[in-house]
Structure 1
Amino acid sequence: MASELKNLSVFSTDHLPDISHRQFAIVVAEWNAEVTEALFSGAYQTLINYGAKAENIVRGNVPGSFELSLGAQWFAQRTEIDAVIALGCVIQGETKHNDYINHAVAQGLTNVGLQTGKPVIFGVLTPNNQQQALDRAGGVHGNKGDEAAMTAIKMLGLQQQVYSL
């Protein structure tokens, strides 16, 4: 796995945009709450650490990762929201449900971003077991929530660059 080679909480912070006036939505799956709450904490704190104002961050909960796409779409359709971060965790388990859910969520979130022209960030862990999830939700491999928030910030910077040409 890529995160075994890289800490998810370590990233370049060169040339980050000013996000003090930007509004973010964080959509969090309630399923696997121990993991998703840690992801939320990481994403929220990263946004704050890099200049977002607490009043410009809104949270929405959905029952599970499958519902992240629709939750993200509802937020992305709001004109005041600049970027959406979707956080979830689908552990492989004994059946292939994870293959179907992960593919559907990835495709759904991609579609929302393409339809709205806004950054919609895939912050969904897809581990083989609970320990791997915890390792990537603030454990030995960092926090995917941190990475997802930084991705949103960087995509807003790219958007600003593209539209100012």
Structure 2
Amino acid sequence: MSSSHKNLSDFSSKNVSDVSNKRFGILVSEWNSEVTDALYSGAFETLVANGVKRENIIKQYVPGSYELSLGAQWMAEKEDIDAVICLGCVIQGETRHFDFICSAVAHGLTNVSLKYNKPVIFGVLTPDTQKQALDRAGGKHGNKGDEAAITAIKMLGMNQ
């Protein structure tokens, strides 16, 4: 279902496990910071609302979405990190750069997740416009950061 028909902040509370002792790494792209900072706020607040201790949320910045893969690898290799949430925003432009970045990030994060056997969550917006990005970063379509955080929580619950 497209996000224009679904609020990204609405999610089922089924399979939400106790994560009070889990540690989450959140990587935030500096590129499109108006959007990514809003995504981070959503993810952080959702984690805290679901019992994660504030001190168990580690925030790190990377320059852009492309760098999320390596940042995720560095974070995932730390034994005390249980899940990694990657937040970015790549807005469609007039060149194929968008396609290359989005594909590389999706594949990179999947590979890191499988390599380290940890949830590595793709919280990267890929809208056509800045307005669409803002609509999905706390605007009329909710916040993809909320969705990314609850996805991390649910994935950790599957492995218990």
Q: TM (normalized to structure 2)?
A: 0.99
Could you tell me how far apart the structure 2 residues matched to 1:149 and 1:48 are? 10
The aligned amino acid for 1:27 is L
Q: Which residue of 2 aligns with 1:149?
A: 149
Q: Which residue of 1 aligns with 2:11?
A: 11
The aligned amino acid for 2:159 is Q
Could you tell me how far apart the structure 2 residues matched to 1:151 and 1:111 are? 17
Q: Which residue of 2 aligns with 1:20?
A: 20
2:4 partner SS: helix
Give unpaired runs (5+ residues) of structure 1. 161-165
Q: Which residue of 1 aligns with 2:128?
A: 128
Cα-Cα RMSD:
0.7
Q: Which residue of 2 aligns with 1:105?
A: 105
1:3 partner SS: coil
Identify the range of structure 1 (112-121 vs 90-99) with the bigger mean alpha-carbon deviation: 90-99
Number of residue pairs aligned between Structure 1 and Structure 2: 160
Q: Which residue of 1 aligns with 2:116?
A: 116
Could you tell me how far apart the structure 2 residues matched to 1:113 and 1:15 are? 20
Task: Give 1:15 shift.
Answer: 3.2
The aligned amino acid for 2:93 is G
2:41 partner SS: helix
Give unpaired runs (5+ residues) of structure 2. none
Q: Which residue of 1 aligns with 2:48?
A: 48
Task: Give 1:36 shift.
Answer: 0.1
Q: TM (normalized to structure 1)?
A: 0.96
Runs of 4+ in 1 over 3 A off after TM superposition: none
Task: Give 1:16 shift.
Answer: 1.1
Identity within the alignment, %: 66
Identify the range of structure 1 (20-29 vs 1-10) with the bigger mean alpha-carbon deviation: 1-10
Could you tell me how far apart the structure 2 residues matched to 1:41 and 1:86 are? 13
Q: Which residue of 1 aligns with 2:62?
A: 62
